[in-house]
A and B are shown apart, each in its own frame.
Chain A
Amino acid sequence: MKLKRIVALVLALVFALSFAACTKGGGNNGGKKPSGDIKVIIGNSTQANGDWAYGAFASSINATDQDVITLTDDCATVQSNENGDFVINDSVVDKYERTEDDDGNATYTFKIKEGLVFNNGDPIKAENFLAWLLFITSPAGMEMGVTKATYAMIPGGDAYKNGEASVLAGARLLGDYEFSVTVLKTGTDGNDYLPYYYDLSYAAFQAVNLTYWFGEGWSVADDGEGAYMKNANGTEFTKDAIEETVVAAQFATSDRVTAGPYNLVKFDKTANEITLVANDKYCGDFQGQKPTIKNLVIVKAEDETVIDTISTGGIQIYSGIADGDQVNALLDLIDSGKLDSSYCKYDRAGYGYFGFACDIGPTQYTEFRQAVAMLLDRNEFANTFCQGWGSVVHGPYCTAFSMYEDSKDFIAKNLNTYDYNPEGAVKLLKEAGFIYNEDGSDYEDGSGLVRYKRVSADEAKYYEDFCKTVDGQIYMPAMINWCSSEGNSVSDLLSTMLANGKATKDAGIEIVQNVMTFDQLLNYLYRQDIAGLGGDYSVPKYNMFNLATGWSSGAYDFRFEFTTNQDYIDMGYNVNHLYDEKLDKLSMDMVAVDPDDYDTYLDMWQQFVLRYNELLPQVPLYANIYMSVYPNTITDYQEGPFWGYSRAILYANPAK
């Protein structure tokens, strides 16, 4: 009896504690109506690091951190609109002018509106827009780990960065509310920065509070030679002088001095929760929009339980859902009325693909690459993988681009869709010369053997281990050495549908899957010749990789991605190793046009896509359709490919 009493006591203790908390603490949010100002709980699958430094410094690539930065630090001269296009922020900029000198260098001059303030009431002036630039190009910034070579594109940037000059000559403080920044046509790194179709992106400067980021006494000064950081007590702008303050500001968990639509109330590391409240001093975005949803809470969402959490109200906004099972489960909940929410859907700004190394093995032949594409039913693949929430693209684009919208007829008329066609694939293999058996005898269709092609020693380079030599002739197998990352569902499906597909085997192609960590895959992809990696990845070994790509803005910039310049290849560009002068030139020329000359840009974009589609260095597999769910307590909520929740929430209103 006593035993029963002990067990009962323990159970009662646990449940009493829980239910006591339930009644006192408000309990499950699903059963609780928000009181007072509306609060929206946003789920994010990425755990926040709490690193609020801007892109060039510390290069935080944490998605949640970036969202918080967008929500809190959004007082910039240039912003990106819902189509991903760069636009002048009229809420901040009073007057903007772009001039060009005889050498083709461009100067962007801004007059900032008066009366703008940070969330602590400090006025925002021109110096606040120059401070970050002066920091990330300074020796102090470099020592502290700035990961962007912005200095190279600004006159005097190299000297300032190296500490040889005390001022950044290309940045000028022209008055309390006026400043300018000049961008070189050709940077000190040899890169051509102008003309550039997206050159407005160069003119994006974020206002930062000098005291908050660098400490007391700092201001931006300009004696006529260029802007520089100056301290009232004569302190030099060095790492030692500012590091402590910068790090404190970078990782602050509350009381950040910012000028965005929301203020960071608290980053609770224990609970993994970020609480934000609307900033009533915010000047508005490029359209003057200010938030009407007062309170936001960002919580960590776990993929395994997120649907249950949404269904019980633990998460109200969940963005960019790509998993077909999750999408369908949410639709069921909404349709059945069990979830008082709505949803929006939009095309992903990116696509998944498998790419080839076009300089080794059989994938160096265009016909072979095209044949492989025709051995996979890409529509079926996209349908299976995205469970109806995805589509197929036929080139290096996503359907969200205006260029795509304007090129639909062109694409339909000119692009090869590489439909599933095993017979056509065999025909292409024969055209490519894969007509032999390994002993040099003629290949017989349907034999089930792997095809071979007679090649030169140069063509067989790096593939010698797989090639056969018969009577002095080298025969290369129609064999792909595929490098795939572990735990990857795309790889699993590719393995089933392509590598082990009947059509592939019947065509006489063998695809050998090599599973490794993603880091290793990248080492092989970039052919890293790095001392510290403990392995020689610089020797080409694999010739097929499956990856995904995406755009965070509407800037479509493929410069150097198909370069034939060995310097740039060594820097990690052109991982497909497709050395085609025409494709290289198109990718470079496409963006080197005047921003106003859309017709020229569009024409080159189409030619680029066409050439890519013909040479097929990559085979696009799927482009997801994303779904985002939001509560019916808000209206006017619409996300888009370049318009995540951190932007969409600004335009949402409380439901009446």
Chain B
Amino acid sequence: MKKYLAKRVVYLIIVFLVVSLMMFFVYNLIPSDPALVQLEPLRKALKPDEWQRQYLALRAQLGLDDPLIVRYARWMGFTKDIDGTFNGIFQGNFGYSLGYKRDVIDIIGAPMLNTTILNLLSTIITLMITIPLGIYCAVHAHSKADSGIQAATVVGYSLPTYLVGILFIYLFAVLIPAFPTGGAKTPGSTYVGLHEFADRMYYMALPIIVLVFTGLAGMTRTVRAAMLDTLSQDYIRTARAKGLREKVVIYSHAWRNALLPVSTSIMGWMIAVFTGGSLVIEQTFALNGTGKLYWIGLTTTDYELVLAMQMFYTLVSLIGVLLTDISYTLVDPRVRIDK
């Protein structure tokens, strides 16, 4: 196990480095110039020669005239920065946001918290609904209930999150004013403790409901398909022939085997949701999340911010894949990762 993990971590680092190199080069191909952005306000205030002098000095100060590979090494923290210190990603410096005029690390904290809470809760609730529902559909395959659920999931699958968000706001915030239309807390409230938590949850309820609703269809169908496949296996027939109770057949024999493809799907889906998948929800409900921050970074050409977030997403994805592989051993005793 340890050997396997060590090997996977090495792979993970290699993939991370390759992705970081590619990302850095791609973003630096975009015609944008941090020195220009910084000095643009002075353009109309300085004579062209003076402006050009300051511009070139700033480019040198920022190290923009060096070859891309040298800049990449500095950005990662492999070589010394212009100021003579190691000050890159590996030293915890994720860059400087030109838009926010702050270190990226100082910006992403609050959005990260929102996105994590939003996605964690919606994921847990979605799984709590979809797993039993998927199993039920598979066990009662082709029944009226199954057909109805299948039809509903097709509709749910086809509806874009944006549309569901707007529709739910209209239904549950305007028509039936049960929830607020957006935001993260009661404006101006100074609640503390449990009261504050309850207030935050109240504001997050509708976005969570929308995320759960839009996540139901896909995961229900995945669980159903995996279960159907398992239930058709010979060992299930054998189990039933042995006279085992149906619940034992389904939950002990079928479900554990069906979990393998399901767990892969769950992890893939979770990674997608965490790495910007809630952008639309954050935008619709005026929530300050990482998806929205990423979007702002892209639209304002704040590429150091975007790059840092991209690397964060890369890391989350790689760790997610590793966890998925490890989780195989938990759900399927046939899988041995130490061999």
Q: A-side interface residues toward B, CB under 8 Å? A: 3, 6-7, 10, 13-14, 17-22, 24-31, 39, 41, 47, 49, 51, 58-60, 145, 147-149, 152, 189-190, 251, 268-273, 275, 295, 297, 299-302, 304-305, 308-309, 311-312, 314, 517, 519-520, 523, 528, 530-535, 560, 567, 570-573
Contacts and interface: CB of A to CB of B under 8 A. Distances in A.
A17 B212 CA distance: 15
Given A25-B198, A39-B188, A571 B285 contact: no
Given A25-B186, A147-B41, A519-B31, A18 B288 contact: no
Interface centre among B59, B181, B203 (most CB of A within 10 A): B181
Contacts of A523: 31
Contacts of A567: 47-48
A579 to B, nearest CB: 17
Contacts of A304: 166, 283-284
Given A300-B288, A308-B174, A573-B44, A533 B195 contact: no
B268 interface: no
Contacts of A251: 102
Please report whether the interface of chain B is mostly helix, strand, loop or mixed according to DSSP: helix
A191 to B, nearest CB: 9
Contacts of A519: 31-32, 301
Given A3-B136, A27-B202, A535-B31, 20 more contacts: A6-B132, A14-B208, A26-B199, A28-B180, A31-B177, A147-B39, A268-B184, A270-B110, A272-B183, A273-B185, A275-B188, A302-B286, A304-B284, A305-B166, A308-B173, A314-B181, A519-B31, A531-B59, A532-B34, A534-B29
Contacts of A302: 182, 283-286
A308 B169 contact: yes
A51 B100 contact: yes
6 contacts: A10-B128, A18-B201, A190-B47, A273-B185, A295-B188, A520-B31
Given A27-B202, A302-B286, A571-B48, A532 B184 contact: no
B33 to A, nearest CB: 3
A251 B174 CA distance: 36
Contacts of A312: 173-174, 177, 180-181
Interface of B: 29, 31-36, 38-39, 41-48, 50-51, 55, 59, 64-65, 99-102, 109-110, 113-114, 125, 128-129, 132-133, 135-136, 166, 169-170, 173-174, 177-189, 191, 195, 198-203, 205, 208-209, 212, 283-288, 296, 301
Nearest to A17: B201
A572 B188 contact: no
A355 to B, nearest CB: 17
B45 A189 contact: yes
A305 B46 contact: no
Given A190-B47, A273-B184, A571-B44, A533 B33 contact: yes
B222 to A, nearest CB: 17
A378 to B, nearest CB: 30
B177 A309 contact: no
Given A3-B133, A305-B284, A533-B31, A10 B125 contact: yes
A145 B38 contact: yes
Contact of B286 (A149, A299, A517): A299
Interface centre among B44, B65, B212 (most CB of A within 10 A): B44
A28 B175 CA distance: 13
Nearest to A24: B198
A152 B45 contact: yes
Given A20-B198, A148-B42, A531-B59, A189 B47 contact: yes
A134 to B, nearest CB: 19
B48 A532 contact: no
Contacts of B177: 28, 30-31, 312
A532 B64 contact: yes
A308 B181 CA distance: 7
A272 B128 CA distance: 31
Contacts of B38: 145, 147
